[in-house]
Amino acid sequence: MEDQPLYDFTSPPLLVVLSGPSGVGKDTLLQKLQEYGYEFCFVVTMTTRPPRPNEVHGKDYLFVNKDEFARLMMMDEFLEHSVVYGDYKGIPKDQVRKALASGKDVLMRIDVQGAAKVHKIVPNAVTIFLTTETEGELVSRLSERKTETSDGLAIRIATTREEMKRLDEFDYVVINREGQQDDAVKQILSIISAEHCRVHRRPISL
Amino acid sequence: MEDQPLYDFTSPPLLVVLSGPSGVGKDTLLQKLQEYGYEFCFVVTMTTRPPRPNEVHGKDYLFVNKDEFARLMMMDEFLEHSVVYGDYKGIPKDQVRKALASGKDVLMRIDVQGAAKVHKIVPNAVTIFLTTETEGELVSRLSERKTETSDGLAIRIATTREEMKRLDEFDYVVINREGQQDDAVKQILSIISAEHCRVHRRPISL
């Protein structure tokens, strides 16, 4: 008699949403996840704003004109989209589908409002809220960026306070402590590893 | 202005149930979890069967007579209990309460039926189903034990097949592959780490 597997142990690719207030360190963590050898497909956001110097189409953003964006909106081809300072940005479903088809986990970096929307549409997405421990830490990081005016900073702090209220809509919360980024990376990797062991994991379809 | 935490990030102790067919390697993994430096309280099962040579009261089992067991049963003081070959065994709630009060995570090794019962009573317990990849591996491990008669073995295999049907009642499934026990230990540690990052984690009360 041939020895059969006791169970179908294959785990489909995860859809992982990394979110949190701006300045919390999402981009650095994404880079570190790669450095740790975690292989994933990253979904690039589509935007109608013009590229900044050094920004690469397909890597940083997908840059399209408003007509093209509107066409995809009409076809319900965005997982989520929003208007930021008069420009549109959104996650094209097709990008996510292609990424999932690769067989690798799919990671997306989305703002808190967008992430909450995605979680409603795709309940079995894994949503991670990245935060600093205190508001002070966040403020000092944003100040260090020096790209913020004091007005801009005040708006970001107010936004963060609103965003913290939505934490309950997420699956996991990870604290990105100053000088302890590796702990945050390891926690995210633990979450991903654990989610692959879930019994009720079903493939994601959009 | 004092810098306040953005959120109550404290994570209460977990109640972790490690289960799976007999012969799958639960005891060895529990030992390895300790070797990896994971600090937890282990809840010892109470039984009315007499101690075997080398078995220590309070470490291997809590050995009590049937009157004492019946008294606790009447008081609904078992998280779960069952009859095995005419002897009673069960998890005393008081042991779990004391363990949770230590502030450490609480681990229990329970058979598949018992674990499913605990999950119903304590929905926020973390239940892990440990399994081999194939039935053949399990059979060869049980045969190596040499404590099983061929009749005993046949019964255990039939039991395993029944137990596999209950896998859906568990949160996580971890495969204990021959010679790759460390992978299984790391996966269990990932699950525990991830569960401590859960947003909706509430303290367990019995």
**B44-88 pLDDT, tens digit each:** 999 999 998 889 999 889 999 999 999 999 999 999 999 877 899
- Look at A199 and B4 and tell me if their CB atoms are within 8 Å: no
In a domain, A1, yes or no: no
Residue A147's pLDDT is 63
Is B161 among the residues known to form the active site? no
Residue B64's pLDDT is 97
In a domain, B136, yes or no: yes
Is B145 among the residues known to form the active site? yes
Q: Which of the residue ranges A119-123, B7-11, B13-17, B152-156 has the most confident prediction, judged by mean pLDDT?
A: B13-17
Residues 6+ apart with CB under 8 A from B50: B63
| Residues of A with catalytic function | 52, 145, 156
In a domain, A39, yes or no: yes
**B126-149 pLDDT, tens digit each:** 999 999 988 888 888 877 766 667
B193 Cβ under 8 Å from any chain A Cβ: yes
Residue B2's pLDDT is 67
- What rounded mean pLDDT belongs to chain A? 89
Taken in order B185, B189, B190, B192, the sign of the CA dihedral is: positive
- Look at A190 and B187 and tell me if their CB atoms are within 8 Å: no
Among A62, A135, A67, smallest CA distance to A96 is for A62
Residues 6+ apart with CB under 8 A from B66: B48, B88
Strand order in the sheet with B172-175: B40-42, B105-109, B15-19, B126-131, B172-175
- What rounded mean pLDDT belongs to chain B? 89
In a domain, A65, yes or no: yes
Residue A155's pLDDT is 83
In a domain, A132, yes or no: yes
Residue B91 φ/ψ, nearest 5 degrees: -100, 110
> Which of the residues B156, B166, B198, B201 is marked catalytic?
B156
Percent of chain B with pLDDT over 70: 96
For B161, nearest residue in chain A (alpha carbons): A6
Residue B171's pLDDT is 95
Residues 6+ apart with CB under 8 A from B156: B21, B22, B23, B142, B148
Counted domains in chain B = 1
- Look at A6 and B168 and tell me if their CB atoms are within 8 Å: no
**A152-192 pLDDT, tens digit each:** 788 888 888 899 999 999 999 999 998 899 999 999 999 99
In a domain, A9, yes or no: no
Residues B41 and B104: beta-carbon distance below 8 Å: yes
Residues B141 and B21: beta-carbon distance below 8 Å: no
Closest chain B C-alpha to A170 CA, distance in angstroms: 7
Computed on alpha carbons and rounded to an integer, the radius of gyration of chain A in Å comes to 18
Cα–Cα distance, A178 to A47 (Å, whole number): 31
Closest chain A C-alpha to B197 CA, distance in angstroms: 5
In a domain, A127, yes or no: yes
Residue A104's pLDDT is 95
Residue B147's pLDDT is 63
ipTM for the complex?
0.88
> Which of the residues B71, B145, B161, B198 is marked catalytic?
B145
Cα–Cα distance, A119 to A116 (Å, whole number): 5
Which residue in this structure is represented by tokens 């975690």? A38
**Nearest CB to B194 within list A132, A133, A191:** A191
Domain encompassing residue B53 = 15-196
The series of mean pLDDT values per 10 residues for chain A, 206 residues long, is 76 94 90 93 93 90 96 95 88 93 93 90 94 87 72 83 91 92 96 94 72
- Look at B134 and A191 and tell me if their CB atoms are within 8 Å: no
- Look at B134 and A171 and tell me if their CB atoms are within 8 Å: no
B195 Cβ under 8 Å from any chain A Cβ: yes
What's the mean pLDDT in B185-189? Answer: 97
In a domain, A10, yes or no: no
Residues in chain A within 8 Å Cβ distance of B7: 131, 164, 167, 173
User: What CATH number corresponds to the domain at position A36?
Assistant: 3.40.50.300
Residue B6's pLDDT is 80
For A190, nearest residue in chain B (alpha carbons): B190
Cα–Cα distance, A167 to B9 (Å, whole number): 11
**Alpha-carbon distances of B160 from A5, B130, B135, B155, rounded to whole Å:** 13, 12, 9, 9
